[in-house]
Amino acid sequence: MMKIFAAAASLLPLPGKWIGSIGLLGLVCIPLPVALAQSESRPESAAASAEQDVYRWPQFRGGDHAAKAATDSRLPVRWSETENVRWKLPTELRGWSSPAVWGNTAVLTEATEDGREMFALAVDLENGTVRWRKRLFTNDEVEESHSMNSYASPSPATDGRRAWVHFGSYGTACLDLQTGEVVWQRRDFPCSHYRGPGSSPLLDDQGRLFIHFDGFDLQYIVALSADSGETLWKRDRDIDYGTTNGDQMKAFSTPKLIDVDGQQQLISATSKATIAYRPETGEEIWRVRYTQFSATAQPLFDGQRVYISTGFGKSHLIAVDPRGTGDLTDTHLLWETTRGIGSKPTPLLHDGLIYNVHDAGVATCLDAASGETLWTQRLGGEFSASPLAGDGVVYWFDHDGVCYVTRQGRQFELIAENRLDDGCMASPVPLPDSLLIRTRSALYRIAAP
């Protein structure tokens, strides 16, 4: 079902249980090597210029890449365990985080199945060997994680010098990308994730790290200095959840930075509402309310509209005009659709179309301007990974090891079905000539023939 709101007509001309105790609560921040952070300041402009040609996919869904491969990339459309595999690296432990890439280095996280040990590792993309692997956190007590989750689900971020890894309230760390040495770490953000952590940190170009802590007990967002780890601001959620059930207060979404008329907004989806904050201060700009909870998908933005998947309890996809202040629920919703919207995968926004997959395996393509459903197709399987745009195609990875490759466009066309030995919970990463695919048990580099 789709609703188009009256406000849209005037806006169309605009320019796009398990509760356990956590032994970590109350731990203090490890002393920060501030002098080191200051001495290793941001690269000089000449060095930064030399870095421009280095390939980068610096955080979840590629940051500004928005889950889209570069236009000059040459990606494979067919593969198997014995076809077009450049290398395969079995992973030792469990983790759903998507790799962050800078040059020939990929960073990812993993944890023991019981969550008592948590690791970061760097992989050489040329040959699939592990450059370094660091045990960062050990936990005497952990909460049980949902079977669909892991203790290493948040994806890392990197700027080419450092890597930032996050395990929810169990700990956040900044590492030297080349050596894996710890620059700083924090373990003093309390939050009962209840079903495991899921929100990835967002790194911006001003040296800030934005992190959601939307738990069963506490719900807030923080901005940290990426260099030192110090808290720049912290903002408690001010939301009427309409319940005392913390299961409907937790959430797993990753925030997104957008530019609206020359001003940045930090779009933060959570249970029952999405809030836009000023990234400099954490001051609220606007919000929209909904009845769904545990938002997981990252919001989307096309320059005119913010698109929000509202979470669990039958997810809706809503389009919001972000040019306003206060509660925009009744005034700035442009359209809303309830048919087949996924709760976990983040939709793909590309060339005016939204590619969405329901957790149960039904793919949908919508017109981004109107919300009209253009096609619907059952792919099969279950989905958590977010779809990826390649050269004229869309990649859809399921839990069973199948990737469906479809043609981009307003009509459905299946190009290929590719199968690996295990399924994907992590979202894929494009490289210039290959795909980096993390399954439950291995990391692959799949190359074009």
pLDDT value of residue 105: 98
Q: Average pLDDT for residues 331-355, to the nearest whole number?
A: 97
What tens digit of pLDDT does each residue of 360-413 get?
Answer: 999 999 999 999 999 999 999 999 999 999 999 999 999 999 999 999 999 999
Instruction: Establish if 35 belongs to a structural domain.
Output: no
Compute CA 87 distance to the chain's CA centroid, rounded to the nearest angstrom: 25
Instruction: Establish if 300 belongs to a structural domain.
Output: yes
Query: Above pLDDT 90, what percent of the chain?
Result: 84
pLDDT value of residue 50: 53
CA dist 197 and 155 (Å) reads 11
Name the pLDDT band for 144 (thresholds 50, 70, 90). confident
CA dist 442 and 296 (Å) reads 24
pLDDT value of residue 72: 86
CB 345 within 8 A of CB 364: no
CA dist 400 and 382 (Å) reads 8
Cα separations in angstroms, 247 against 154, 201, 414, 416: 19, 22, 38, 39
Examine the pLDDT at 138 and tell me if it is beyond 60.
yes
If you average pLDDT over every residue of the chain, what do you get? 91
CA dist 341 and 266 (Å) reads 23
Instruction: Establish if 383 belongs to a structural domain.
Output: yes
Name the pLDDT band for 319 (thresholds 50, 70, 90). very high
CATH of the domain at 367: 2.130.10.10
Q: Average pLDDT for residues 293-311, to the nearest whole number?
A: 97
Q: What is the pTM of this model?
A: 0.89
pLDDT value of residue 7: 43
Examine the pLDDT at 24 and tell me if it is beyond 90.
no
CA dist 277 and 274 (Å) reads 10
Q: Average pLDDT for residues 325-345, to the nearest whole number?
A: 97
Q: Average pLDDT for residues 279-283, to the nearest whole number?
A: 98
CA dist 171 and 190 (Å) reads 10
Q: Average pLDDT for residues 145-161, to the nearest whole number?
A: 95
Instruction: Establish if 37 belongs to a structural domain.
Output: no
What tens digit of pLDDT does each residue of 167-186 get?
Answer: 999 999 999 999 999 999 99
What tens digit of pLDDT does each residue of 96-134 get?
Answer: 999 999 999 999 999 999 999 999 999 999 999 999 999
CA dist 369 and 335 (Å) reads 9
Instruction: Establish if 424 belongs to a structural domain.
Output: yes
pLDDT value of residue 64: 84
Examine the pLDDT at 211 and tell me if it is beyond 50.
yes
Instruction: Establish if 47 belongs to a structural domain.
Output: no
3-class secondary-structure state, position 130: strand
Instruction: Establish if 151 belongs to a structural domain.
Output: yes
CB 194 within 8 A of CB 247: yes
pLDDT value of residue 1: 57
Q: Average pLDDT for residues 329-351, to the nearest whole number?
A: 97
CA dist 360 and 341 (Å) reads 10
pLDDT value of residue 35: 39
What tens digit of pLDDT does each residue of 423-441 get?
Answer: 999 999 999 999 999 999 9
Count: domains in the chain:
1
pLDDT value of residue 234: 98
Enclosing domain of residue 190: 2-16+55-447
Cα separations in angstroms, 433 against 107, 137, 436: 19, 35, 10
CA dist 377 and 365 (Å) reads 9
Instruction: Establish if 417 belongs to a structural domain.
Output: yes
Examine the pLDDT at 23 and tell me if it is beyond 80.
no
What tens digit of pLDDT does each residue of 26-68 get?
Answer: 333 444 444 344 444 444 555 555 567 899 999 999 988 899 9
CA dist 408 and 69 (Å) reads 13
